[in-house]
Amino acid sequence: MYTVIRSSELPPSGRGTVRFEGEPHGSAVSFFLVNNLPGEGPDLHKHPYSETWIVRSGTARMTADGKDVEVGPGDVMVVGPETPHKFKNIGTGAERLEIFCIHASPRMIQESLED
């Protein structure tokens, strides 16, 4: 069995992020393909499963479990279940952050921790 999901079936949001939830396609993982401008990124939140990030381009400040880490192209970072985390594009000018956010779940479950 296999499934092909064409890029036209996963249109980006107004900010350029693509969202894929695996459950409707028989996949055990979900992901965001983020394409943010400087200053953009999700606020503090957590999931009941692990999340893995792969930075393709740009620079981000990842905050996980209260600690800040700067990451760039080729870096991989993983947070465990229930770990509070967020990230922001810390690039300058029009430098976009392109990052894969892989959720170890067939559907995304997210609890916001900031108003």
The CATH number given to whatever domain includes residue 63 is 2.60.120.10
Task: Kindly state the average pLDDT of the residues 90-109.
Answer: 95
Establish if 6 belongs to a structural domain. Answer: no
Number of compact structural domains in the chain: 1
Amino acid 14: pLDDT: 86
Express each pLDDT in 6-61 by its tens digit: 999 999 998 889 999 999 999 999 999 999 999 999 999 999 999 999 999 999 99
Establish if 55 belongs to a structural domain. Answer: yes
- Domain of residue 104 covers 14-108
pTM, 2 dp: 0.92
Tokens of 114: 């900031």
Task: Kindly state the average pLDDT of the residues 101-114.
Answer: 96
Q: Which of 31, 92, 86 is nearest to 58 (CA)?
A: 92
Establish if 25 belongs to a structural domain. Answer: yes
Amino acid 111: pLDDT: 96
Amino acid 76: pLDDT: 98
**Residue 87, number of CB atoms within 10 A of its CB:** 25
42 Cβ neighbours under 8 A, 6+ residues apart: 86, 87
Establish if 18 belongs to a structural domain. Answer: yes
Establish if 65 belongs to a structural domain. Answer: yes
Establish if 113 belongs to a structural domain. Answer: no
Q: Kindly indicate the confidence band of residue 114, based on its pLDDT and cuts at 50, 70 and 90.
A: confident
